[in-house]
Structure 1
């Protein structure tokens, strides 16, 4: 009787795991919003005195698919200007982005 319970539980786990293991589209950097932001910010010539700079960026996506930076919360003014210049009014290609919705993304640039 105990072996029957063990086998039943094992089959139930196997069925559950196989249901969640379906193949689906993986989000690539080209289709992911944060991946596109990464691509826009990756080539930089910032002179970083610390080992890294961090910022919290708030933005919306317009009807035309452009990023509109609302705020950049950081301690470094150079970082703020850099992020705004690289992201503001840049087009992104996404299907599932709600225009007008406020998004937040953390940004970290290391030396």
Structure 2
């Protein structure tokens, strides 16, 4: 019984120490790609007639760090134009994005 208690205390200590030993920054909205896109799209003028709009956005990041929208899959033409106008040729500041790689991002606008 004493060994079981000692082992459980040791495991608890190791788990606690490993939780505090992690290094590095946590991903925040400002330093990841989807967070930056969220910031670009969050201020919109969609009214109550346009509730719960969804789209699938395909884009690449150029060598200069600019977004280049390839397609916006949606049933709403207004949302398609909005996403293209807000994202096309906008600069993103990331170091871990591969230029030329195709990215897909679901977008949902709620009123």
Instruction: Using structure 1 for the length normalisation, give the TM-score.
Output: 0.86
> 1:50, CA displacement in angstroms?
4.2
What SS does the aligned partner of 2:105 have? strand
> How big is each residue's C-alpha offset from its partner over 1:25-78, in whole Å with a ceiling of 9 and x where there is no partner?
122222111111011111111234143111111111111100011111111111
Give the unaligned 5+ runs of structure 2: none
Q: Are 2:43 and 1:40 equivalent residues in the alignment?
A: no
Give the unaligned 5+ runs of structure 1: none
Structure 2 residue aligned with 1:66 = 66
RMSD of the alignment, in Å? 1.7
Structure 1 residue aligned with 2:26 = 26
> 1:13, CA displacement in angstroms?
4.2
Distance, in Å, in 2 between the alignment partners of 1:41 and 1:69 is 14
Alignment size in residue pairs = 110
What SS does the aligned partner of 2:31 have? coil
